[in-house]
Amino acid sequence: MSYGSLPFWQNFCNGYNRRQEPSLQKDYVYFTLLHGHALGPSVAKPYLEPEPTEWRGPHPDNLEFRQPSRRLICERYRSRRGTLQSPLAPLLSSSAPTSMLMKTGSWARGATRIYDERSSLLDSSERLHVVTEPVSEPSPIMATPELGPQPSTPAPAPEIHQSINDAMARRIVRKIDWRIIPLLFTTYLFNFMDKTILSSAAVFGLKNDNHLVGQQYSWVSSVFYFGYFFWTYPTTLLIARVPVGKYIAINTFFWGAVVALTAACSSYGGLITVRFLLGVAEATITPALMFITSTWYTRDEVPVRTGIWFAGNSIGGIVSSLLAYGLGHIAETDKVGPWRAMFILLGGATFIWGFVIFFLLPDSISKAKFLTPEERQWAGDRVVIAGTGSTDKTVWKWDQMLECLSDPKTWLIWSITILCQIPNGGTQNFANLVIVSFGFTSLQSTLINIPYSLITAGFIFGTGWLAGRFRSLNCILAACIVIPPVVGSALIGKRGSIPHGASLFGYFCLSTGPAALPLILSLVQTNFRGVTKKMTMTAMVFIAYCAGNIAGPQLFKASEAPLYGTAFQAIMICYALVICLALVLRFYLQFMNTRRVKEEGVDGSAGTSGAVGGGKVLDITDGRPVMEVVNEVQLRPEDYEDVTDWKTFGFRYRL
């Protein structure tokens, strides 16, 4: 969209009037100019006086507010095209008296810059000339009723951050990585082990000792996600409101205790109860880890860090397989038995880990004692500039929740998530039973899951790195990563008529499927701005996660054991639909980026949070460190406000 187009200027004045300046809310003035004419009051008035709301403008020098009774800044536009032809031409000419400027009616209350010489939208021959005139006493013309009372004190000046060099910036990021990522990784490792140890326990006597028949084992698997579903939305509300580090620690204490108590179960009812409570306990973990990641890291860093801690999922699978193999040698005639020993050991370790989280995981950047005050300031500023905004001191906003529900990308991501998790719910809980059907023993089935988990971890980390390195690959990677599971599920579905070796190869093809979820979580963290909007989307993702994992085990019908033909046909269809929807999502995000470029008149960036420092739209290109961008921008109080992606000028979506 060009500088001289009407939609650009309509968007321009609409956006600027929504900029909130607490001490000067009634001093809005807009002179919206085109190359050959200006917008008159009849055109501009609808855009000039709505209720003040949050907005982010495109450039620090585009807009200035002044108290007209103390100082008047008059901008005069000099056009190479000659005299401006509009009702405002006399007022905007270089000879117009200052007093006339204030006589334009209730829609004009001061003066503002439009674009200065640094704007790329003006060429070298089109400059703005600034004339500053002190007003000694108001004239009758200037003392109009529309001006209203002037504030007695100016807006507070923002805190100035200290510039740092590249070495110091890298050192700060390294300190953050070494404190935050190991905690998140290990927490997610326990999260996965405690959730999936049920699959190993099933082949070591759990089904017989608890007298499970028919579909009861499937319901024991599914009920975990009923508890998860029950607590998902309430916990997302709490995550943004309470000290998140302490909240995760308390959940971990409860979760460890529930896992250990599973060993005391001797009936279907007992297993159903503890599995439901375990779902409630673990519902907090992944949303909280997503919140922490987007709190500490930039948009380019989020996919890589998410991939690292999500890989704890797969490493947890390796550890649980080795643990099950070792404890599986305990005789089933022993009082404790192998499956009970698994739950006691994992539950106790998880409970102890809760103390580590309590003392080492900071609640926010501002409370991170392992950083100096200057480092905390810089760490916070880098996320405001190159992340998705500050998460400190935010409140729940219903308008952001409604915006999330009306956003098309919300439902595309939701659909992709549920289709990914239907296969996941079944394969996680029936993996060992399926492997045994290939002709392996119970102990061998636990070892076969080790290479499966290694493949999954490698793909999670690799795709996370690629998604962070290239801003347009996320959706394509999500589509490509589920192609092998389509092939694998087709092979396993036909294993009655093919060699066991081909079936085992098909099983390993399924291992890349879990890598799709961290890519989807990265899209949520990087493409949703506004704490309430992001946490609402997070809750919806995990509602879909629960629904898929509830449905998945039910597809494994006891009457079809050990082939489970229906289950693997459904897995193939689900992953095929994921491929289609991931491509649709990419085309939609690309369309939105193109439309926003036309409406806003600037390219914007998918590597930063949008306009900051009064409106600068910056970009972090290859070879340019975040440190340089943070040093060159002076943030203002409004940059720390909680604003959504729809209302952020210059915000572009990662594809």
- 215-268 pLDDT, tens digit each: 888 888 888 889 999 999 899 889 988 999 999 999 999 999 999 999 999 899
Number of domains the chain is built from: 2
Distances (CA, A) of 117 to 66, 123, 286, 635: 21, 8, 47, 21
Residue 362 CA from chain centroid, whole number: 19
In a domain, 57, yes or no: no
Give dist(CA 419, CA 310) in Å, integer: 19
Give dist(CA 129, CA 132) in Å, integer: 10
Res 435: pLDDT: 84
CA-wise closest residue to 568 among 499, 509, 481, 480? 509
Answer with the one of 375, 393, 411 that is the final residue of a domain: 393
Give dist(CA 452, CA 276) in Å, integer: 28
Res 4: pLDDT: 39
Residue 361 and residue 407 in one domain: no
CA-wise closest residue to 84 among 39, 132, 44? 39
In a domain, 109, yes or no: no
Answer with the one of 377, 393, 409 that is the final residue of a domain: 393
DSSP 238-263: HHTTS-HHHHHHHHHHHHHHHHHHGG
Give dist(CA 43, CA 26) in Å, integer: 20
Q: What is the mean pLDDT for each group of 10 consecutive residues in the chain (655 residues)?
A: 42 43 33 35 38 37 32 30 36 36 30 33 34 36 34 41 74 94 95 82 86 86 88 90 93 94 92 93 92 91 93 87 84 79 93 96 92 90 79 80 94 95 83 80 81 91 92 94 94 82 89 93 91 91 90 83 86 95 96 91 79 61 61 68 84 90
Residue 179 and residue 301 in one domain: yes
Residue 210 and residue 341 in one domain: yes
Residue 404 and residue 352 in one domain: no
DSSP 648: B
Answer with the one of 393, 418, 439 that is the final residue of a domain: 393
Q: What is the CATH number of the domain that holds 470?
A: 1.20.1250.20
Residue 213 and residue 353 in one domain: yes
Residue 365 and residue 411 in one domain: no
In a domain, 420, yes or no: yes
In a domain, 404, yes or no: yes
| Unique residue bearing structure tokens 């926003």 | 596
Give dist(CA 229, CA 540) in Å, integer: 10
In a domain, 375, yes or no: yes
What's the CA dihedral at 444, 446, 447, 452 to 10 degrees?
A: 130
pLDDT in tens, 25-83: 333 333 333 333 333 333 333 333 333 333 334 333 333 333 332 222 333 333 333 33
Res 631: pLDDT: 66
Q: Which tokens belong to 453?
A: 């988990």
In a domain, 107, yes or no: no
Interacting residues of 167 by C-beta distance below 8 A, sequence separation 6+: none
Res 95: pLDDT: 40
Residue 360 and residue 425 in one domain: no
Residue 386 and residue 435 in one domain: no
Residue 333 and residue 189 in one domain: yes
First CA to last CA distance, the chain: 22
Distances (CA, A) of 360 to 185, 351, 363, 370: 14, 15, 10, 9
Residue 374 and residue 494 in one domain: no
Residue 358 and residue 263 in one domain: yes
In a domain, 564, yes or no: yes
Residue 204 and residue 335 in one domain: yes
Give dist(CA 344, CA 367) in Å, integer: 35
Q: List the domain range (segments joined by +) for residue 266.
A: 165-393
Q: Against a cut of 0.85, is the pTM above it?
A: no
In a domain, 232, yes or no: yes
